[in-house]
């Protein structure tokens, strides 16, 4: 994937290209996670896998924004979804946002978000035999979850092909992740 795709300014969430940009970001971070795993850098891989999942959530939140706003109970909640949730995807709200996405049809997303958050903890604390700070006792266990998270991310991106503007850049980025997963 070309570096300039990820490094150029992110479109505003109201812009047409926002979802595509976030998906490219998700696939780019996923590819980096797999590269870090190849080099034995499990904590770095966990970080990138988490960032990839967070970028995917941003794309899904934007894609489903109107449905999500319809579920909101107050005008304040609707404004928060639009002004904070979509552009920022606060880590502390990822579980709640995943539940909302589940409620509009994204089955199983809450369980995968839990895995991403576990990897986020592992990024900071590494393997923890006592499981006090991290849910992973070994690097191998965390590495396996990185791969599973990236597999699920690629599967979910694939399902969006018919729902969004799908271009050559997205196809190439998805193919790079798929290829890296088969190594």
pLDDT one-digit tens code per residue, 100-146: 999 999 999 999 999 999 999 999 999 998 888 899 999 999 999 99
Domain membership of residue 47 (yes or no) is yes
Residue 81 lies in a domain: yes
Residue 9 maps to a domain: no
Asked if residue 10 belongs to a domain, the reply is no
Residue 2 has pLDDT above 60, yes or no: no
Whether residue 6 is contained in a domain is answered as: no
Decide if 114 is inside a domain: yes
11 falls within a domain: no
DSSP 87-123: HH--GGGHHHHHHHHHHTT-TTHHHHHHHHHHHHHHH
Q: Which domain holds residue 100?
A: 16-181
Is 3 part of a structural domain of the chain?
Answer: no
Domain count, the chain: 1
Higher-confidence residue: 12 or 91? 91
In this prediction, residues 81-110 reach a mean pLDDT of 97
Mean pLDDT, the chain, whole residue set: 94
- 134 secondary structure, DSSP code: -
């Amino acid at each position: 994937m070309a570096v300039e795709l990820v490094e150029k300014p992110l479109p505003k969430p109201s812009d047409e290209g926002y979802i595509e940009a976030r998906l490219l970001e998700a696939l780019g971070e996923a590819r980096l996670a797999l590269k870090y795993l190849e080099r034995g850098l499990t904590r770095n891989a966990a970080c990138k896998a988490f960032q990839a999942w967070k970028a995917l959530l941003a794309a899904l939140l934007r894609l489903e924004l109107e449905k999500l706003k319809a579920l909101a109970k107050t005008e304040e909640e609707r404004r928060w979804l639009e002004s904070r949730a979509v552009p920022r995807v606060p880590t502390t709200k990822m579980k709640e946002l995943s539940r909302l996405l589940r409620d509009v049809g994204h089955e199983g997303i809450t369980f995968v978000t839990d895995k991403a958050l576990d990897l986020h903890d592992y990024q900071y604390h590494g393997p923890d035999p006592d499981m006090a700070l991290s849910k992973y006792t070994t690097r191998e266990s965390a590495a396996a979850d990185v791969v599973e998270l990236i597999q699920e991310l690629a599967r979910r991106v694939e399902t969006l092909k018919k729902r969004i503007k799908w271009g050559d850049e997205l196809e190439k980025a998805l193919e790079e992740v798929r290829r890296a997963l088969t190594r």
